[in-house]
Chain A
Amino acid sequence: MKKKLLIDNKLYELEVNYGKKDIEVTFNNKTHNINISDTTFNGFHSILIDNKTIEVFCQQKGEDHFVLWIGQNTYEVKSGEALLTESQEEESSVIHAPMPGLIAKLEVKEGDEVSKGTPILILEAMKMQNEIKSPRDGVVKEILVKEGAKVASEDKLVVLE
């Protein structure tokens, strides 16, 4: 079975074949044998990739949307056509809250021209004043939050044109 994946927004193609016990995964023309433990230890699965041990925690965020915790790294994994296109479109026009917090100050108003790095707003979280900067040049199309508002991580803050 061919499979398309976005890992941290980079596209990958692999072939996955489920056997009775083990799984065979082909990537870059190399086939690997995968074995998954039946039990979890503190939520972690033990995975053997060609008999090499790896501890993995898999958090499901939604349909075809996962976060993998491997070693000290996390990876966002998306699959399915809908998610693949949506995440690519949205990426450059919407500024999301990188963390939960309070909108301490808005530095721009709707209609303002901004360049890459222009301070957009100050988000206060964990005693720090965090400056949220524009990811690219553009015009502020819509501001979705007010000063003093509480926001959650990933909330949409500002839309750029």
Chain B
Amino acid sequence: MFKKILIANRGEIALRIIRTCREMQIKSVAVYSDVDRDALHTRSADEAYHIGKSNPQESYLNMDKLIAIAKNTDCQAVHPGYGFLAENVKFARICRDEGLIFIGPNPDALELVGDKIAARNTVKDIGALIIPGMLGKTSNPSDFDKVIKDIGFPVIAKASMGGGGKGMRIVKNKGELASAIELGRREALSAFGDDTIYIEKYIEEPRHVEMQVLADNFGNAVHLFERECSIQRRYQKIIEESPSPALDDDLRKKMGDEAIKIVNACNYTNAGTVEFLLDKNKNFYFLEVNARIQVEHPVTELVTGVDIVREQIKIAEGNKLSYRQENLQQRGHAIEARIYAEDPDNNFVPSPGKILHLVEPSGPGIRLDSGIYEGFEIPVFYDPLISKLVVWAENRNTAISRMERALSEYKIVGVKTIIKLLSAIMKDDRFVKGNINTHFLENFVMPEDLAANEEQVAIIASICEKLAKKTYGKNTAINRKESLWKIVGRQRSLQ
């Protein structure tokens, strides 16, 4: 049994792991970079240690320091969360060699599935469908040209060691290829420490459907059903749900069985996700195995009642699975909306900055996994995901209404977020009917803000001075050097 765990991550996922640790009476150790001293994960863990500069390479990716802190604080295990070192084989091996348990797959399985190209070969060998494309590693432009000659444009360039859409780009013609590979390499190197890029055929209008799996160290594996993750932009998911409106019981069982076959073929252990693309004819192609706790795991937790982080910890402690397949079922419907600090009106450019004011949704069926608070400054160094709003309801339509209601309660002032895009999707007819694929957002037109409420906005704009006076007082100097936040804070403490 673990007594203390080091969490080699930050933000909402670090907090998510700390919560389960606390419920299991396990002490948690956080690490923080220069800019994260005030971050929620730093404040919430039982202990917190400075790890280095704000740049991920010098902090959350610094293996030697992480190991040293884990050992000095008498941790038995390390939870890597997602991103950063979560799928880093070298880190998993170092943990093992240093006597620390890595809460994730065994290093050999991690190496196999973490290398997307190797995983494609393994899955092809057991007779499952894979997407046509590269099966070897190369950086030679002529090898890319050769594969493209066979499969034709459009193709997707992907990071072999990647995940979460980082380094991934669609390439429609030869002119875009070089820059897609170049930008992909830089992103992949900065995010995963490896710049291998490969290409595969771009499947038209697919759904992204994935199976959550759990496997213990004794050869037992179960799946926790599917998540539909077709609503994506820049190949990053923004809305996920379970069950998928595209699956019936028969297809669900087929995909679940296939996922377990793949997991077994890879000798995979701990929690993982087998991703598939589902085409219009309900053929499903293996995409990749995500060897980590995933961002969207809460939707599975809400419909199955399983705490996946708890299961990860129990498997890592050497316990057998707590569940048999026949004991698992999906109940009701869950939807997750990812709140990114990005400007939906300006090509989703990141919008880091200080949270001036925050109102969080609550009420029936709401779960909010958040890494921010009022006064917190979202750093520029890390992923722009700031929180995940998850709802549960007895059926899909009620869940959609509930998500729309919860989003309308959610007010984040100070940075731009994609909340209004998420709200617009909940109102979209195609989404409501479940008629979605991964291209959904490409031809999605945001309702015009100003046109719809032009009168209201103009009226309010005409009384801005009055509003500002009521907020900040009559004699407040304008063009102040001090932040408004400080001034508001001071005024509040006087009230």
Contact = CB atoms under 8 A, between A and B. Distances in A.
Interface in B433-469: 449-450, 453, 455-464, 466-468
B357 A27 contact: no
Contact of A7 (B380, B420, B450): B450
A69 B343 contact: no
Interface string A47-67: 101000011111110110010
B359 A44 contact: yes
Interface stretch (A8-16, A83-91, A137-145): A8-16
Contacts of B464: 58, 60, 66, 68, 77, 79
B370 to A, nearest CB: 15
Contacts of A47: 460
Contact of B479 (A34, A63, A77, A125): A63
Contacts of A7: 450, 457-458, 461
A122 B419 CA distance: 26
Contact of B455 (A27, A60, A71): A27
Interface stretch (B182-190, B218-226, B300-308, B322-330): B182-190
A118 B183 CA distance: 16
B191 A43 contact: no
Nearest to B464: A66
A98 interface: yes
Contacts of B420: 71-73
Nearest to B346: A98
Contacts of B191: 127
B176 to A, nearest CB: 12
Question: Main secondary structure on chain A at its contact with chain B?
Answer: strand
A23 B349 contact: no
Nearest to B165: A128
Contacts of A125: 349-350, 352, 380
B47 interface: no
Contacts of B380: 99-101, 125-126
Interface stretch (B100-108, B138-146, B244-252, B381-389): B381-389
A3 B349 CA distance: 33
Given A34-B459, A129-B183, A59 B484 contact: yes
Given A58-B468, A98-B346, A43 B488 contact: yes
Contacts of B419: 72
Contacts of A14: 458-459, 462
Contacts of A71: 408, 420, 453
Given A36-B470, A99-B350, A12 B458 contact: yes
Interface of B: 56, 166, 183, 186-187, 190-191, 341, 343, 346, 349-353, 356-359, 374, 380-384, 407-408, 411, 413, 416-417, 419-420, 423, 449-450, 453, 455-464, 466-468, 470-472, 478-479, 484, 488
Given A8-B450, A74-B416, 19 more contacts: A34-B463, A40-B470, A44-B359, A49-B456, A49-B460, A56-B467, A57-B357, A57-B413, A58-B464, A62-B479, A66-B467, A69-B413, A71-B420, A72-B419, A73-B453, A99-B350, A99-B352, A124-B190, A125-B352
14 contacts: A3-B462, A8-B450, A27-B458, A49-B459, A55-B411, A57-B357, A60-B468, A63-B479, A69-B411, A71-B453, A72-B417, A73-B453, A98-B346, A127-B382
